[in-house]
Structure 1
Amino acid sequence: MRVVIVGASGNVGTALLRRLHAEPDLEITGVVRRPPEPTGPYANVTWHPIDVGADDATDRLAEVVRGADAVVNLAWQIQPSHDQRRLYRTNVLGSRAVFRAAIRAGVPALVHASSVGVYAAGPKRAFVRETWLRTGIPESSYSRHKALVERMLDEIESDHPTLRIVRLRPGLIFQRDAGTEIARYFAGPLLPGSLLRFGRIPVVPRNPGLRMQAVHADDVADAYLRVLRADVRGAFNIAAGPVLDADVLGRAFHGVPVPVPGLLLEGAAALTWQLRLQPVDRGWVRLALKAPLMSCDRAAADLGWRPETDAVNALRELLAGIAGHAHTESPPMADDARLPGRWGGLLRGRLPGTGNPY
């Protein structure tokens, strides 16, 4: 079975490669903008350097995916948040290029990395199924792009009914090796990461909207493998328990929950983002406050999927990775101190939320 993974060297891609390497009957092809050194999880992969947002991406991708049994599209940019045109180019136009290439090459299965961010605002004390409204959270460009791409898939499903299309919609995805990457993309150089080595978060913001779901990257990878092996279609919510809120985090990390109004959280994010102090704009806070909680019953029933790591331990592993500067040798997950989001980058004028880290 030949599987082509587009965006194979990031957080989920790295975990998926680790999982697929344990399957002796799989031949793996990776597509990324900058191929990693073929060591560790990146070994035994046929790499192709392609920028999915480039004008010739569809033609080049079609040649790579021809003859594949499945294409998994993981390509997505979180940063640079101050360059919305670049994000749209990769996330929306790049996804379109992957889809068009798969159709042109006659690939029988297309698996796309969607997200809880595709959903409209929803409940924080109940769990929505995959049929929940998919209009995204308008203030978040990440959410808008996820919703746009899923609408593309709706049209493709209508026009190409024989193409098996699957969408995975995970919550926050954590693993130790992504510690440096996630710190760069979501916190910036001012995060006192070394303080996290003691497994403590001194102050935890409490807000009724700050109830989120997370999942370990290895469990997400297992879900992708199950999708590749099973004859399933449609969407699957992917998350582990418990729901992460101020009470759960306070107990787990010895922190004190402090009530914080949502408007204050959004305003602080907007101001510090505009000042280039950190890379997360107001839209990310709005998404955290408004995104619904997801039911994963379909993944359990149709895929037999159940997470092996709970959400608290997944987060604990991530925080240890941030404190220990955990990373891999792939460009998105590198420990290069000169990149935006690191002190070395800041000293070189590479401000958080700028530049292309992929």
Structure 2
Amino acid sequence: MRILLAGASGTIGTALTRQLEKNHEVTRLVRRSPKGPGEIRWNPSAGELDVAAVERADAVINLSGAGIAGGLWTRSYKETLYSSRILPTRTLVQAMQKAKNPPEVFISQSASGYYGDRGDEVLTERSASGGTLLADICRRWEAEALAAPGSVRVVLARTGIVMAKGGGALPNLLTPIRLFAGTSLGSGRQWWPWISLDDEVRALEFLLTAPLSGPVNLSAPAPATLDEITLRLGRAFHRPVWFRVPAPVLTAVIGQLGFELLLVSARMEPRVLTAAGFAFDQPTPEALARWVRSTVTGKAAPAST
């Protein structure tokens, strides 16, 4: 397939590009001068994208968006969180609307934040949205994607917390553990809708051809609490998890960011994805811990992890 990819420089985008280039032709959208034929310049802040780039693509994947933890949630940064998602999505959709031959599929990133803070409630693709800032961002983000032409199959990839060696939540959990200062956050009973980077990339590639549209939860089929995740990681590295940072301390230090990023509970299940036949390589916290140890050290964790 000929794939047009926005947001290729992030943790997910870098790994996805590496995977897709094994079997597909990938063209990356960049905001600087292109360095070769595999890149096309665009300016989503100004709504600028050559329609020809979209017409040539069989599929468009949109991973654009400023990092949720990229800065304190000042009013200015909150505006950045919105605009960095809405404007690129709108620019891509407007180009599709102008195209004589729009792409067959549009995979637009969304997030588990769509569901907000829901305690122990099981969250499927049919569950309602929540009342947090991230939930509002996701609703508006998805609405922009759904404005694509009717001939385009639109997939809203509601991605959970991606566990990756080089970014995201994992290094912040793993570094203290390896230094014998393993820490859980808040009550530790909040559900984290985690997914390994490996499975995230494989799922996105799967969605290129799977007969699915609308919201698709991208998280492991065995959701886990933060306490379970940290304890499993600790065992994989033969380290204890000694400490707990109380919720009031987190919110006092980093405010709303601390709550929405670390303390909300989203017991998300990938029912649409699994029903379509996708098989996870890291489906459980135990498998995640073994994969993390192997990825970080090159050595497998004990089977009982």
**Conserved in 2, the CA contact under 8 Å of 1:215 and 1:238?**
yes
Output the CA distance in 2 between the equivalents of 1:204 and 1:89.
Answer: 32
Higher relative CO (CA 8 A, sep ≥ 6), structure 1 or 2? 1
Deviations 1:201-220 (A, max 9, x none): 43323515532121112211
Find the partner of 1:114 among 110, 116, 127: 110
Output the CA distance in 1 between the equivalents of 2:22 and 2:57.
Answer: 19
**Conserved in 2, the CA contact under 8 Å of 1:102 and 1:110?**
no
CA RMSD of aligned residues (A): 3.3
Instruction: Pick closer, same or farther for the CA change 1:284–1:161 going to 2, 3 Å.
Output: farther
Find the partner of 1:306 among 279, 284, 298: 279
Tell me by how many angstroms 1:74 deviates: 0.6
2:198 is matched with which residue? 218
Which amino acid is the alignment partner of residue 41 of structure 2?
A: P
2:129 is matched with which residue? 134
**Conserved in 1, the CA contact under 8 Å of 2:125 and 2:271?**
no
**Conserved in 2, the CA contact under 8 Å of 1:266 and 1:286?**
no
1:285 is matched with which residue? 259
Q: List runs of 5+ in structure 2 lacking aligned partners.
A: 298-305
Q: Secondary structure at the match of 1:114?
A: strand
Instruction: Pick closer, same or farther for the CA change 1:136–1:317 going to 2, 3 Å.
Output: farther
1:5 is matched with which residue? 5
1:98 is matched with which residue? 92
Output the CA distance in 1 between the equivalents of 2:200 and 2:254.
Answer: 29
Which amino acid is the alignment partner of residue 94 of structure 2?
A: R
Output the CA distance in 1 between the equivalents of 2:126 and 2:114.
Answer: 11
Alignment of 1:294 with 2:294, yes or no, is no
Tell me by how many angstroms 1:268 deviates: 2.4
Alignment of 1:153 with 2:145, yes or no, is yes
**Conserved in 2, the CA contact under 8 Å of 1:3 and 1:70?**
yes
**Conserved in 2, the CA contact under 8 Å of 1:247 and 1:257?**
no
**Conserved in 1, the CA contact under 8 Å of 2:30 and 2:39?**
yes
Which amino acid is the alignment partner of residue 149 of structure 1?
A: W
Which amino acid is the alignment partner of residue 246 of structure 1?
A: D
Output the CA distance in 2 between the equivalents of 1:287 and 1:47.
Answer: 33
Q: Secondary structure at the match of 1:236?
A: strand
Q: Secondary structure at the match of 2:3?
A: strand
Tell me by how many angstroms 1:175 deviates: 2.0
Output the CA distance in 1 between the equivalents of 2:293 and 2:213.
Answer: 35
**Conserved in 1, the CA contact under 8 Å of 2:184 and 2:245?**
no
1:89 is matched with which residue? 83
Q: Secondary structure at the match of 2:8?
A: coil
Deviations 1:266-295 (A, max 9, x none): 12223xxxxxxxxxxx23423432342111
Which consecutive segments of 4 or more residues in structure 1 shift more than 4 A?
A: 34-38, 257-261, 310-323
**Conserved in 2, the CA contact under 8 Å of 1:204 and 1:255?**
no
Find the partner of 2:250 among 265, 268, 272: 265
1:28 is matched with which residue? 26
Find the partner of 2:61 among 72, 86, 97: 72
Deviations 1:116-171 (A, max 9, x none): 011133133x4211011124513xxx4432221112334x26xx432210011121
2:151 is matched with which residue? 162
**Conserved in 2, the CA contact under 8 Å of 1:72 and 1:110?**
yes
Output the CA distance in 1 between the equivalents of 2:116 and 2:182.
Answer: 32
Q: Secondary structure at the match of 2:193?
A: strand
Deviations 1:326-352 (A, max 9, x none): xxxxxxxxxxxxxxxxxxxxxxxxxxx
Which amino acid is the alignment partner of residue 18 of structure 1?
A: R
Output the CA distance in 2 between the equivalents of 1:36 and 1:52.
Answer: 15
- Of 111-120 and 306-315, the range deviating more from structure 2: 306-315
The size of the alignment, in residue pairs, is 284
Q: Secondary structure at the match of 1:263?
A: helix
**Conserved in 1, the CA contact under 8 Å of 2:250 and 2:258?**
no
Q: Secondary structure at the match of 2:281?
A: coil
Instruction: Pick closer, same or farther for the CA change 1:135–1:245 going to 2, 3 Å.
Output: closer
* Alignment TM-score, normalising by the size of structure 2: 0.79
Q: Percent of counterpart pairs with the same letter?
A: 23
1:172 is matched with which residue? 161
Q: Secondary structure at the match of 1:229?
A: coil
Which amino acid is the alignment partner of residue 298 of structure 1?
A: V
